Structure 1
């Protein structure tokens, strides 16, 4: 399916690794010019270089979106070669072991600043141009924890609920503008960092030594009807569709992609 993204420019925040990198690669493969964002210049440049070697168009933007100064640096770099049509707010932090009893208010504020306010910073900087041109896509990457929280990571779950709410509110603000706003609530994402964490946890629990032995046990902790953890590319495919003209009637919604997750 031709997603008709040739001629569009996309900024994917937090795209120097993990899910953000997969999204940037997918958009570039569909013909969009992408801006890879990160705080580490070497890693960010490496991703952009790899995309270009694969035939895509990619630039970089370096900056810490947890600050207004960093967000402005990212905006300036992102629009250097042309306006941004697609904003994917992916940057975020999480702390898997955090619990109510050991997560102080400062930690809540820090996670909220990175996971929610960083998105607001970029929306406020890039949305005016989309409105003027009468076309654009704003996509928030959140998590199923936003609507199905557990006792772990309460601050992270709360930020994902806020991201979903932000997407819906922004759609109301943008009505009849040609710009859409949606969120993707992701289930488990099998990035290298996630796999390393789960292998360490599995070994500590006595579930085995290899990923093949440990994966079935980890899926049982958060079961779904597919029976596995999704790879980043599976989420990137959905984001690419939301970015396309074909998704123009999807607006103000949160799409859950979690393999049919259910409670045990």
Structure 2
């Protein structure tokens, strides 16, 4: 299927590795010109070079979105070679601290990194989308924002804020041709998660085979209807759909890509 992204230009924050990398590469494969963002220029350049070597078009934007100055630098770099039609807010931080460990400073820093950073990029890029009469804003949320657990409360709360602000933005952008939506991933496998699973396996008696470890971890920690972890490309596919013209009638929505982990309507 042609998602009709040729001629569109997309900035994916936090795309020099992980989930953001999968998203930016899929958008590029679908024909969009992309801007790879990260705080490390070498990693951002590597992803950009991968895209270009595969026949895509990519620029880089380096900066720390936890500051106004960093966001200014990223926006300027992103807009240097053309308009931005698509903003995918993906960059952020995580923490496994509990209620007893997370200080008020931890809460403040988490909110700044995970929510205010999104706001900074919306404020810097959506106004020029309005002059185009078309645009896409996709926020990466998470199931813990819908059904939080007792651990990492400050992180859970920022995911809920992302969902809330995205819907508010959709209302604000009424009849502008710009949509605002959330993709809410479940537990996604990546090398870091695999390393954690292997190290945790003896504690939970999950065995030594990685596939067996992953299956048992899903059953005990994140039971879902598919019986497995998600893959980064499965999240990227949902993002790509929301960025396409086929999603013109989708705004203020949350698309859960979690294998049925969250049990709600």
Task: State the TM-score, normalizing by the size of structure 1.
Answer: 0.97
Residue 83 of structure 1 is matched in structure 2 by 83
Q: How many residues align?
A: 262
> Retained in 1: the 8 A contact 2:27–2:34?
yes
Residues 179-198 of structure 1 show CA distances to partners (whole Å, capped at 9, x for unaligned) of: 00001111011121122122
> Retained in 2: the 8 A contact 1:66–1:117?
yes
Residue 11 of structure 1 is matched in structure 2 by 11
Q: How much has 1:209 moved relative to structure 2?
A: 2.6
CA distance in 1, matches of 2:101, 2:90: 26
* Unaligned 5+ runs, structure 1: none
Residue 244 of structure 2 is matched in structure 1 by 244
> Retained in 2: the 8 A contact 1:223–1:262?
no
Alignment of 1:14-93 (within 5 A): 14-93=14-93
RMSD (CA atoms): 1.0
CA distance in 1, matches of 2:235, 2:90: 12
SS at match of 1:249: coil
SS at match of 1:101: coil
SS at match of 1:235: helix
Residue 143 of structure 1 is matched in structure 2 by 142
Task: State the TM-score, normalizing by the size of structure 2.
Answer: 0.97
SS at match of 1:27: helix
> Retained in 2: the 8 A contact 1:136–1:180?
yes
Q: How much has 1:202 moved relative to structure 2?
A: 1.9
Q: How much has 1:112 moved relative to structure 2?
A: 0.8
Residue 156 of structure 1 is matched in structure 2 by 155
* Unaligned 5+ runs, structure 2: none
SS at match of 2:49: helix
- 1:208 and 2:214 are equivalent in the alignment: no
> Retained in 1: the 8 A contact 2:238–2:255?
no
SS at match of 1:246: helix
Q: How much has 1:206 moved relative to structure 2?
A: 3.2
Q: How much has 1:262 moved relative to structure 2?
A: 5.1
Alignment of 1:220-259 (within 5 A): 220=219, 221-259=221-259
> Retained in 2: the 8 A contact 1:222–1:262?
no
CA distance in 1, matches of 2:43, 2:202: 30
